[in-house]
Structure 1
Amino acid sequence: MSVLDILKDRGFIDATTHTQELEEYLANNRATCYIGFDPTASSLHVGSLVCIMALAHMQRNGHRPVGLVGGGTGLIGDPSGKTELRKVLTQEEINENKAGIRKQLERFIDFSEDRALMIDNAEWLTQLEYIPFLRDIGRHFSVNRMVKAESYKARMDSEDGLTFIEFNYMLLQAYDFMVLAKEKDCLLQMGGSDQWGNIVAGIDLIRRTLGKQAFGITFPLITTASGIKMGKTHKGAVWLDPNRFSPYDYYQFWVNADDADVVRFLKLFTFLDLPEIEAVDKLQGADLNKAKVVLAYEATGIAHGRDEAVKALKASVAMFGSIEIPEELLPGSSIPRGIHSAEDADSVPSSSLIHGDVVDTLPVVDLFVQTQLCKSKSDARRLIQQGGAYINGDRVAESGQLIRENDVRDDEILIRAGKKKYHKIILA
């Protein structure tokens, strides 16, 4: 089975260019392919996972993936799907964000011995001279065709409109593709469906300037069964950085997937074989919940490592009760089999505080912020007012109350935000 068939069968493909020629190219060559990543943050999030997993599948099938970090285009900003102008980043911010992105991609892709590359387009974009660029590159672009591109429509229809800086983005991304085709023999660009216009522009530029046939693959926008954009929660983005979003919370994100999403997410976000995933389609109720546990374990293991996946599994069992993972359920998973009991409570996220700094001193609101169960005091007050804050299973009644001695059980305090977010305070 070709890598293109694998991506199609697992639900990655939205559209391809030159489909038959692309299939032949991938079947007969060790292709170099790339996806661009925007360095506006030091962490990628779950919304980037389809692109990352696609690169991983390409590498597993003998091809070489390239993660192109937009250090140059990041100074401008891609208008695709945006309705407002993005803030300008400093070079120091871009460098810090690049390092964070590289660290996360290394969880999914092997960069050793040039098996994969990470390149910053600032290497060539910041060296461009304006007049030669217009003469050699700009002359190949039709403004009439550009303004019809989906990537520009949201900005053009917005109150602020599309700036000239952003209008240049299609030229620069096409130029990126041309440089990679010339320097790295990279003839395949992949990306989200909103990148179609930019990808096609690059293919056309390569044909005009290098006389080569290049290709494009786009991926669908992934939404949950409830219609929510993938990776968006009431708490904000689901980051891949464990310091922004803990492995335990990451695990909980997946284990709480909608029933209708389980098979689709197993195909997209794990490497388990398709036949065993398709068997999950017949499961219901408690058996389907066990499949969700495997999904959460596999996704957490890929992003954070097997040790963190095991810890998250144990912590979840400690909070929500025992579960049995039978041998025949998704047998390709490395999840420990058998009955997982609630005896592994030490895996619950925890922190140590001084007894005197907490009891009769610290407001409940502050404790929820310190443990990152809430982003701010106003968030904590809102949680309490809505009846979603708990101490040792008892609902917090007043936002102004202090932690009291009767809140302490065996030198510990277990606090909870909503149904799923726990944190244990160990008092010294």
Structure 2
Amino acid sequence: MQTILDELTWRGLVVQTSGRDALAAALEDGPIGLYCGFDPTAASLHVGHLTQVLTMRRFQLAGHRPYALVGGATGLIGDPRMSGERVLNDEGVVAGWVDTLRDQISRFLDLEGPAGVQMVNNLDWIGQMGALQFLRDIGKHYRMGTMLAKETVARRLSSDEGISYTEFSYQVLQGLDFLELYRRHGVTLQYGGNDQWGNLISGVDLIHKVEGEDVHVLTTPLVTKADGTKFGKSEGGAIWLDAELTSPYAFHQFWLNAADADVVKYLRYFTFREREDIEALEQETLEAPQRRAAQKALADDITTLVHGPEATRQANAAAAVLFGRGDVRELDGTTVEAIAGELTTVDASADTALVDGFVAVGIMTSKSQVRRAAAEGSLSVNGEKISGEEVERPIGEVVRPLPGGYALLRRGRKAAAMVRLAG
């Protein structure tokens, strides 16, 4: 029988462990407590966090007890980056983000039963600890040489910018988190991205020194796009899990555009498809890449997981509309807004004549061209053919606007643009 460690390994989700044999034995002995931390440094999780959230779900499905830590304390400090000091956010803002992230994470996990996830906040123990207690009880177990050798710290110290004591102390706080969860809930495994290895080992060492016990860590790969950049907000263009920040259509398109070289890897990381199914999609990608079967499966699966089946249906319908095959009148307001973001969109009055609208959005360069195209029957608004007579009338009289007051103007299947009607 395949174990959870075997499953994670096949999916490429194991990079390092503190000792594979010891971890495998602990997992096989019975359900263990495990945790992963998420710092509230923004109002939403992004797709880079999905690796950790879905790994937690996999452990849960295997019967283990997950603890999702949202760092109300560490979020006030910030994990040091390879370059650049983090901006310290207001305490009230961070507290609001804690609530938002807890809600987002809990959507992916079972909340009840013996393997039900428990949401924890490290502000509950760090916030109660005074400076003297922290230095005496925790700080005395850390050696400067070890702390200075951490890759991020060493790189920052060798640069002109240096590193503040605030960010330097982050590794101690993360070690304290593991110790507290070990004491309070018997948690014996912490996992996280491979760039967190030093912080993860911090807790292993602390627990060994304070409690005389051995615990475990596991790291997952840093997921990158085809150009080698991480899935994170630091690199710009983040794909958020919040539909208000990244529309379900844009979210679906992001995965649909995955490179052939990456798509099978993403299917293993981010979907719950069985091995045989993924291998079949891998083979189809090799034999008929133009079908993009793996990309379609990936985009549909993850969009449904994050936003629900209706959002996936809308995203596919929107793509069909953009390629001139679907009915734009079936789309909801969020999806119409997403399409408007993909196309040239201009503001216009409902009294604007259609002939002027087609010129304004740049589909054609003159009114005479618009009139000829209308006479040929190649123009449409919101999917309805426009006659030579109707093209002279106001847009608001010819068609009912879409949600948000939009009208989709199209010449044939390829040329399309939007107007946003006011008044």
TM over 0.5: yes
Q: What displacement does 1:153 show?
A: 2.7
- Number of matched pairs: 370
Q: Distance in 2 between matches of 1:422 and 1:3?
A: 49
Alpha carbons of structure 1 residues 210 and 281: separation in structure 2 relative to 1, 3 Å:
same
1:164 corresponds in structure 2 to 165
1:77 and 2:47 are equivalent in the alignment: no
Long gaps (5+) in structure 1 = 323-341, 352-356, 363-389, 398-403
2:313 corresponds in structure 1 to 310
Q: Distance in 1 between matches of 2:207 and 2:291?
A: 48
Long gaps (5+) in structure 2 = 338-346, 353-358, 367-391, 402-406
2:363 corresponds in structure 1 to 394
Report the secondary structure of 1:229's partner residue.
Answer: coil
Q: How does 1:32-51 map to 2 (within 5 A)?
A: 32-51=33-52
RMSD: 3.3
Decide which structure has greater helix share.
2
1:92 corresponds in structure 2 to 92
Match of 1:96, as an amino acid?
G
Alpha carbons of structure 1 residues 15 and 288: separation in structure 2 relative to 1, 3 Å:
farther
2:154 corresponds in structure 1 to 153
8 Å CA contact 2:33–2:187 kept in 1: the answer is yes
Greater alpha carbon shift after TM alignment, 26-35 vs 81-90:
81-90
Match of 1:251, as an amino acid?
H
Q: Distance in 1 between matches of 2:201 and 2:261?
A: 34
Q: Distance in 2 between matches of 1:261 and 1:396?
A: 41
8 Å CA contact 2:350–2:421 kept in 1: the answer is no
Alpha carbons of structure 1 residues 137 and 233: separation in structure 2 relative to 1, 3 Å:
closer
Report the secondary structure of 1:237's partner residue.
Answer: coil
1:358 and 2:330 are equivalent in the alignment: no
Q: What displacement does 1:137 show?
A: 1.4
Report the secondary structure of 1:188's partner residue.
Answer: strand
Match of 2:273, as an amino acid?
L
1:319 pairs with 307, 317, 322, which one? 322
1:254 and 2:255 are equivalent in the alignment: yes
2:377 corresponds in structure 1 to none
Report the secondary structure of 2:292's partner residue.
Answer: helix
Q: What TM-score, normalized by structure 1, do the two folds share?
A: 0.78
Q: What TM-score, normalized by structure 2, do the two folds share?
A: 0.79
Match of 1:302, as an amino acid?
L
Greater alpha carbon shift after TM alignment, 217-226 vs 141-150:
217-226
Match of 1:39, as an amino acid?
P
Q: Distance in 2 between matches of 1:5 and 1:423?
A: 50
Match of 1:414, as an amino acid?
L
Q: How does 1:288-303 map to 2 (within 5 A)?
A: 288-303=291-306
Q: Deviations over 1:275-299 (max 9, x none)?
A: 1101112224466413211211100
8 Å CA contact 2:18–2:218 kept in 1: the answer is yes
Q: Deviations over 1:96-150 (max 9, x none)?
A: 1112112211221122357001111000101112222222211211101111111
1:206 and 2:207 are equivalent in the alignment: yes
Alpha carbons of structure 1 residues 154 and 145: separation in structure 2 relative to 1, 3 Å:
same
Q: Distance in 2 between matches of 1:292 and 1:301?
A: 14
2:376 corresponds in structure 1 to none
Q: What displacement does 1:312 show?
A: 1.4
Q: Distance in 2 between matches of 1:223 and 1:65?
A: 26
Name the larger-Rg structure.
Answer: 2
2:278 corresponds in structure 1 to 277
Q: Deviations over 1:54-109 (max 9, x none)?
A: 11111111112111111111121111x34222222222111211121122112211
Match of 2:102, as an amino acid?
R
8 Å CA contact 1:156–1:162 kept in 2: the answer is yes
Greater alpha carbon shift after TM alignment, 23-32 vs 312-321:
312-321
Identity %: 35
